[in-house]
Structure 1
Amino acid sequence: MTSPTVLVVGAGISGLACARALRDAGATVRVVDRGRAPGGRMSGRRVDGRAIDLGASYFTAEPDSRFEAVVHDWLARGLAREWTDTFRTAGPDGIRDSRSGPMRFASPTGLRDLVIDLAEGLDVVAGETVEEVTPATGDTASVSVSFTGSTGAEGFDHVVLAMPDPQARRLLAPGSRALDVLHGADGWHPTIAVALTFAEHEWASDLHGAFVNDSPKLSFVADDGDRRGDGAPVLVAHSSAELAHAHLDDPDGAIAPITEAVSRMLALTAAPVDAFAHRWTFARPAAPHDDPFLLDDRVGVCGDAWGGKASVAAAWTSGDALGRAIARASAFPG
């Protein structure tokens, strides 16, 4: 009796959590991603050997959750660090007050390294693009997958799409029942992340991060040196959805207005010595699904849009739960 074969499309934290749950249950799992390395929206960019987080800003972990055990393992191995339990709130004209909450965790080497750690021991193929996924149509039929550059389709017992809804919709064949559940592009908010490097640290040492309210340009600003723990004079600002929509075709065009907004908010006198932008077209769902994942016709969808609240923890939990659900529904050796 052979183990079921599962294709996971998307090597972000959700897809790899799903793949690990399936592998641990005895499935044969293959992970593909169109990018050059695992990471998804926990990716960043290296500048002079230093990683700058441009996607997720931090993560939390619910006490006694399955994800908390993963976080404790990362902490024990030095892959993650406690960052702060206090953020500032701000408006367009400056800092307003502080807000305490759960401990926010970060990574001293960049959040992508946590995703790469999850990929350890898995069959992950980078730079491979899926063209279309046709769900199973009967009890014995397999899920059909067409890959870019391939002349034929390949069959899998299950296929997991670990990605935002609009991207999953593009891959599903016409008539797929999942299309009735998944949101389109208008159900997601974009953001543009702008990294600003300064010659020296001019802002308050207790900034940590700031949620920005009532701003047409900003939504969040993080002290990346404080987040990483190396004190580098780097800020990462996430735009408002409004500003991102205006610059989706020209992310670099958002650098000047975001720089001006950050400088005004933090009363900075020096201009950054370097700046670059990264576009996230589907940064967060406008209305996350209440269900932890979707599984229909042996095609699953998981990610931070599932589970009622978009977050890194929700993405991992969604993928892990979907992997275990597929395992329960499948025939395994022995």
Structure 2
Amino acid sequence: MTQDVTVIGGGISGLACARAVHDAGKTVRVLDRGRRVGGRLSSRTIEGRPVDLGASYFVVGEAERFAHVVADWAERDLARPWTDTFVVIDADGNQTPKPGPMRWAAPRGLRSLALDLAQGLDVVSERAVERVEPYRVGGEPSGEVVLAMPEPQAARLTDVRLGSGAEWEPVIAVVLRWDERQWPADLHGAFVDGDPDVSFIADDGDRRGDGAPVLVVHTTADRARRHLGDPGGAIPPIVDATRRLLRIDADPVSTFAHRWTFARPTETTGRPFFRSPGLSACGDAWGESSAVRTAWASGDALGRVLAAS
């Protein structure tokens, strides 16, 4: 029997969409090309501990429905408040505190939140989709089809113009581990201003809560573009830049690099999602700002509309 909705992409927007459809009593299937769901909520076990390689944190904001989901995660110790203060580091290494909203993290890595959303859903992993059209995936009847992925990837699957028009920037996430902490205890995370190589630094042990001396450094888009074919090539300049910015004397004892060809949209539409008969789209390019809560809200809103249609 053909399901009511088929979602292509098992990131947080796709899972939120599928969850809303499922909870409304409709049938839904999620097709994901990865071994595990998560998308850009990516955590990888490195040297025995999960490390967040995609999104660095999330903010609840004023999204009431998302707030209920986060409260449930917190009650079950899947998510925890991390910090409301980062610093801004200029190109000379000078630091200025930057208070803001509470940033949340996940003790077991952000992917654990995606896995929780996927509980009870019909998810088919390692399923590469080559072509979609309204109501059909790979030529087979599939109900309403949802593309929950960056638009450049979605455009490879369909001739339907999805309408966001957003360009996407790449990022390489570089994991740096020392034998012991080399930076101040109050440095939770840092936005980097004016550096050609580094855009953000996160203390992964601090956000995970285990105190591991691990930093995850996100490159600038320009630095990432130079190494899309060889992400490991970004490691030496990122090590040099991180040591200079944080005034660290020693080299890390281990490193790892992960490429995100489509890490974030350069702009968003302001609309919650794209909807057309038989083929729709959701994700963090469809809200007011690119963020985890935007992706969740986009998928949730689209799922509720599809379930009611």
TM-score by length of 2: 0.97
C-alpha distance after superposition, 1:274-294 (max 9, x if no partner)? 001000011110111111100
Partner of 1:254: 234
1:230 equivalent in structure 2: 210
1:269-327 per-residue CA deviation (whole Å, 9 max, x = no partner) reads: 11000001000011110111111100112211111111120000000000000001111
SS of 2:146's partner is strand
- How far, CA to CA, are the matches of 1:194 and 1:305 in structure 2? 24
Contact 1:3/1:27, CA 8 A, preserved across alignment:
no
Which position in structure 2 is the counterpart of 1:200?
180
CA–CA separation in structure 2 for the residues paired with 1:195 and 1:284: 19
- In the alignment, which of 105, 117, 136 is matched to residue 144 of structure 1? 136
Provide the residue aligned with 2:152 in structure 1: 166
User: Residue in 2 aligned with 1:138?
Assistant: none
Q: CA RMSD in A?
A: 1.3
Corresponding residue of 1:90: 89
Alignment pair present for 1:155 and 2:141: yes
Change (3 A) 1:158 1:308: same
Contact in 2 for aligned 1:209/1:222 (Cα 8 Å)? yes
With the length of structure 1 as denominator, give the TM-score of the two structures: 0.90
Residues 206-243 of structure 1, C-alpha deviations (whole Å, 9 max, x = no match) = 00000001111011000000010110000000000010
1:104 is matched with 103
1:111-130 to structure 2, matched below 5 A, reads 111-130=110-129
Residue 40 of structure 2 corresponds to residue 41 of structure 1: yes
Aligned residues of 2:3 and 2:29 also touching (Cα < 8 A)? no
Q: Is the 8 A contact 1:92 1:264 kept in 2?
A: no
**Residue of structure 2 in register with 1:150 after alignment:** none
Picking from 258, 263, 266, the partner of 1:278 is 258
Q: Could you tell me how far 1:183 is from its partner in structure 2?
A: 2.9
Shift in Å, 1:134 = 1.4
Aligned to 2:165: 183
Structure 2: gaps (5+ residues) = none
Task: Give the letter aligned to residue 168 of structure 1.
Answer: A
Counterpart position of 2:298? 318
Q: Secondary structure at the match of 2:155?
A: helix
8 Å contact 1:177–1:296 — kept in the other structure? no
Q: Distance in 1 between matches of 2:161 and 2:82?
A: 42
- Give how far 1:255 is off: 0.3
Higher-Rg structure is 1
Sequence identity, in percent? Answer: 55
Deviation of the 1:256 alpha carbon: 0.4
Report the Cα distance in structure 2 between the residues aligned to 1:127 and 1:232, rounded to whole angstroms. 32
Alignment-derived partner of residue 56 in structure 2 = 57
Q: CA deviation at 1:328?
A: 2.0
For structure 1, list consecutive stretches of 5 or more residues without a partner in the other structure.
136-142, 147-152, 330-334
CA contact (8 A) 2:164 2:268 kept: no
What's the CA shift string for 1:241-261, capped at 9, x where partnerless? 010111111111100001100
